[in-house]
Amino acid sequence: MSSDAPPALSVAGVSKVYRRYAAPWDRVRQALGRASAHVDEHWALREVSFTVARGETVGLVGRNGSGKSTLLQIIAGTMRPTAGTVTASGRISALLELGAGFHPDFTGRENARLNAAILGLDDRATAAALPSIAAFADLGDHLDQPLRTYSSGMAVRLAFAVAVHVEPDILIVDEALAVGDEAFQRKCFARLERFRAGGGTILFVSHAAAHVTALCDRALLIDDGELLASGEPRGVVAQYHRLLFAPPERRAQLRTAIREGRGDVEAEAEQAPVDDAFLDPDLRPAGAVVYEPAGAEISDLAVTTPEGQRVNVLRRGGAYEIRCRVLFSADASGVSFGTLLRTVSGTELAGGSTAAAGRALAVVRAGEVWAVRHAFRCRLLPGTYFVNAGVSAETGAERRFLHRMVDAAMFKVMPDPDRWRAGLVDLDFESVAEPVGRAP
């Protein structure tokens, strides 16, 4: 392809501002040009500009609330910018909000027809595409059932199947692949690869760094509505991770270094205290479940250093402890204290128990307070993890919980740019290869 060919997509100076009014009358006052209107402006995007070449796959990375989804909606035409322009060559197919454009009372087949028409297919082309859409979605008899009976995974199967079968020139995907099961995700990525091989252009948003580096030719880093960096995916993802895991007081300095494209970005980041664990006050679990106490109550659950300093952003390979205090309101026998670590998706990773270590307590009296510590070495790969805690006792031949807390604390593990690992756990592999001869 000639370098003089026009881009598939051009975004020029796009900004988006949302205005929040203190009272309904303030909206009227501003419309009339009255200075007394009380309005708070939130800039979701500020002068974002970039181009995407034909056949290029570009990934967008950034923290939640950085403006990625707003930008994609403007590009897709479902939202108007406050300023700036978007120019696209060819048909855009966008898979943005799950089930957007679908009607819950229509069947899957009816929604597929409707969505294909919205994306620009006429009746004949839609009829020709439907068998392929149905085969890809693989919903069986559910295809002729109302969408309101679908699970989120089933809905995204249908939405993705329609999006990739309307023969778009530009495909926009916003985190939709995170909803389906692993088998369907593999199927989607294979379809995206075929789309790329056929010269299609893809704009792709994902929080999964491995997806961005594996699928994309280039990556864009957006933070606080501003385009900070554009370049080779692995390098841009590394900068994104440094912003994501940096202490709040360091983010402004890192943003400036990344924005200015200075060669000392890596050096500055290394000098920042991101190599040591620290406490991010904004990192708190939103879905904690605390059961009713039944003879004991857990409090002060936290991840700490061995010295007792509270932390929730950990360094891989570091030594840490999960600590809590337990107050007993009734006598108990055969008492043990346990903890469990889980992933965001709920996968149980590892746990520890004082009973397993041979330290179950024969008798604990009402009014006693116990300090509990579970020491561990962090072998987890970069990501977000949740902490469960429980205290149990023997009641006859059974063991029951006296108190239990689920997802009551959380922590993140910082990336290590010098060590590449896949999966969830770092088993400290030492990988080597050596020649042993030549084939005859």
Inter-residue contact 203 to 93 (CB < 8 Å): no
Closest CA to 220 of 207, 206, 233, 211: 233
In three-state secondary structure terms, 226 is strand
Inter-residue contact 47 to 67 (CB < 8 Å): no
pLDDT digits (tens, 9 = 90+) for 283-318: 888 778 899 999 999 999 999 999 999 999 898 889
Inter-residue contact 350 to 380 (CB < 8 Å): no
- Is the pLDDT at 268 greater than 50, yes or no? no
User: What band does 238 get if pLDDT is binned at 50, 70 and 90?
Assistant: confident
Residue 172 forms beta bridges with which residues?
94, 203
Residues 6 or more apart whose Cβ sits within 8 Å of residue 228: 221, 222, 239, 255, 258, 259
Q: Which domains does the chain have, with CATH numbers?
A: 9-90+169-256 (3.40.50.300), 289-413 (2.70.50.60)
Closest CA to 203 of 87, 112, 68: 68
The whole-chain average pLDDT of the chain stands at: 82
**HEC secondary structure over 318-366:** CEEEEEEEEEECCCEEEEEEEEEEEECCCCEEEEEECCCCCCCEEEECC
Say what the pLDDT of residue 143 is: 92
Place of tokens 């080597």: 432
Q: How far apart are CA 160 and CA 179, in angstroms?
A: 11
Say what the pLDDT of residue 269 is: 41
Of 100-104, 327-331, 429-433, the poorest mean pLDDT is in 429-433
Burial call 419-429: b when 16+ CB within 10 Å, e when fewer: eeeeeeebeee
User: Does pTM top 0.85 for this prediction?
Assistant: no
Say what the pLDDT of residue 25 is: 62
Strand order in the sheet with 201-205: 92-95, 170-174, 201-205, 57-61, 218-223, 226-231
Q: How far apart are CA 174 and CA 76, in angstroms?
A: 11
Structure tokens at 272: 């920042």
| Burial class of residue 163, CB neighbours in 10 A (0-12, 13-18, 19+) | buried
In three-state secondary structure terms, 163 is helix
Annotate 36-101 with DSSP letters as a single string. Answer: T--EEEEEEEEEEEEEE-TT-EEEEE--TTSSHHHHHHHHHTSS--SEEEEEE-S-EEEE-STTTT
- Is the pLDDT at 107 greater than 90, yes or no? yes
Say what the pLDDT of residue 273 is: 41
Q: What is the pLDDT averaged over residues 411-419?
A: 73
pLDDT digits (tens, 9 = 90+) for 147-199: 889 887 788 888 888 888 888 899 888 766 655 555 676 677 778 888 888 88
Inter-residue contact 58 to 217 (CB < 8 Å): yes
Specify the higher pLDDT residue, 439 or 143.
143
Say what the pLDDT of residue 266 is: 44
Say what the pLDDT of residue 97 is: 60
